[in-house]
Amino acid sequence: MDDKNIPTVSALARRLAATNLNQPNNDTNKVTIRISGPATASDETLVADLTRLVMDRAKGKYGGHEIDRKSAASQVQARLRAGEFAIAFVRSKNNNNNNKEADDPQQSSVSEPPREKLAGCIRIKKFSPTTGGFRTLVVDPAYRKTGLERRLIRFAEKRCRDDLGLTAMRQEFLNPKYRTKPPKYLSRLGYVMTEVCNIEEAYPELRPLLPGPTKYYVIEKQLAA
């Protein structure tokens, strides 16, 4: 074989790196998304994890104003009780099995059930008799840019269309930077900008909580039958 046709080690490394960059997080294949039920509001661990996830995402959004954790947890519980949250969980095996096997060979055949880790959530809201929407779209940093945001939005759309009988989706959000169109991933999902205004015009009570001039946006999408 001609040596010229044999790829160098550095070339192979570059190909491998490119392949790995294009591969989705394997854990996203193990994701389960489900609607919260009233009983989940009593799950202290879930409430605490959801509250942490939402509050971490909100850091910096409200300037120097502190968000009260107890108040945030109460809101999370109320929305869980109302069935407004769709929650994404990732199933993962308990790594403690390896330690047990090393410490006690007789325990090597004992397998602990997979555990579920909170990966993200989306709040599904009914705006009108025909229009639904989503708020509080939050994904754990470990699962961002894996497509989980899109999966949560698709889940919300299916929920609104199939279970609630709605024909359109609406999303409201704030951004300190002026936009003339929705974020790219939302545009690819079919959302179009329908309204842009200053936050003072839409929610004047929020203005003192924000660090600077902020735009209020509304994007919408018609749901296919």
Q: Give the mean pLDDT of 61-79.
A: 74
| Average pLDDT score over residue span 130-143 | 93
Name the band, by pLDDT with cuts 50, 70 and 90, for residue 3: low
- pLDDT number for residue 199: 84
State which of 54-68, 87-101, 104-118, 160-174 shows the largest mean pLDDT.
160-174
Q: Which of 106, 87, 99, 107 is nearest to 46 (CA)?
A: 87
The torsion angles phi and psi of 36, rounded to 5 degrees, stand at -70, 145
d(CA 10, CA 130): 57
Q: What is the band of 93 on the pLDDT scale with cuts at 50, 70, 90? A: low
Query: Which CB contacts under 8 angstroms, 24+ apart, belong to 53-61?
Result: 53/118, 53/120, 53/121, 53/138, 53/140, 54/121, 54/136, 54/138, 57/138, 60/211, 61/174, 61/210, 61/211
Taking the C-alpha atoms of residue 33 and residue 36, their distance in angstroms, rounded to an integer, is 10
**For residues 82 and 47, is the Cβ–Cβ distance under 8 A?**
no
Greatest distance between any 2 Cα atoms in the chain: 74
Task: Copy the structure tokens of residue 211.
Answer: 């660090």
pTM: 0.74
Question: Which tens digits make up the pLDDT trace of 153-186?
Answer: 999 999 999 999 999 999 988 876 667 777 888 9
Predicted confidence (pLDDT) per residue in 24-41, tens digit: 455 556 899 999 889 999
- Average pLDDT for residues 41-57, to the nearest whole number? 91
Map out the domains of the chain as residue ranges.
25-222
pLDDT of residue 99: 47
The domain defined by 25-222 carries CATH number 1.10.10.10: no
